[in-house]
Amino acid sequence: MKKIFNEVNFWLIKSEPDVYSWEKFCSLGRDMWEGVRNFQARNYLLKMKIGDLAFFYHSNRMRAIVGIAQVVREAYRDPTAREGNWFVVDFQPYKSLHRAVSLAQMKSDPRLKDMLLIRQPRLSVMPLTKEQFYTILEMAETTL
């Protein structure tokens, strides 16, 4: 399910590796991104389209981007939500990064100074510009 990359949107999704790691996600092959309980993050999920790419970021101890996921199903009601208007998006693994890119590395690169991960670090889902996405790919020594 490839999309022409000049039409794709770019995102970053965060997970604690002790709870849900990139390796676990890859072993499943496809999964819904559930449990988002922040309105701003939820609104970003609602904007995701099939084919969009998202960096998979390990939060807490590791604090690094480790892989790329691809949207395979657009937003639908979160079946784990007991109340409220919450949504999920289905992703599949797209590619592991050749080198993980740490938060410290991103903070030290002036091209990423406006990235939401640096400005709003508690947000679990966020958009990236095309420039930010390709800068991180370069840092990761990874191509699409």
What CATH number should be reported for the domain holding residue 34? 3.10.590.10
Indicate whether 2 belongs to any domain: no
DSSP of the chain: ----TTS--EEEEEE-TTTS-HHHHHHHSSEE------HHHHHHHHH--TT-EEEEEETTTT-EEEEEEEEEEEEEE-TT-SSSS-EEEEEEEEEEEEEEEEHHHHHH-GGGTT-HHHHSTT-SEEEE-HHHHHHHHHHTT---
Q: How far apart are CA 28 and CA 24, in angstroms?
A: 6
Residue 71 lies inside a defined structural domain of this protein: yes
Query: Does residue 1 lie within any of the structural domains?
Result: no
Q: pLDDT-based confidence at 5, cuts 50/70/90?
A: low
In a domain, 3, yes or no: no
The number of domains in the chain is: 1
d(Cα 103, Cα 135) in Å, to the nearest integer?
Answer: 13
Asked if residue 96 is part of any domain, the answer here is yes
The pLDDT tens digits for 98-129 are 999 999 999 999 999 999 999 998 999 999 99
pLDDT band for position 7 (cuts 50, 70, 90): confident
Q: Kindly tell me if the per-residue pLDDT of 4 is higher than 60.
A: no
Boundaries of domain holding 97 = 10-139
The answer to whether residue 125 sits within a structural domain is: yes
**Tens digits of per-residue pLDDT, 53-103?**
999 999 998 999 999 999 999 999 999 999 989 999 999 999 999 999 999
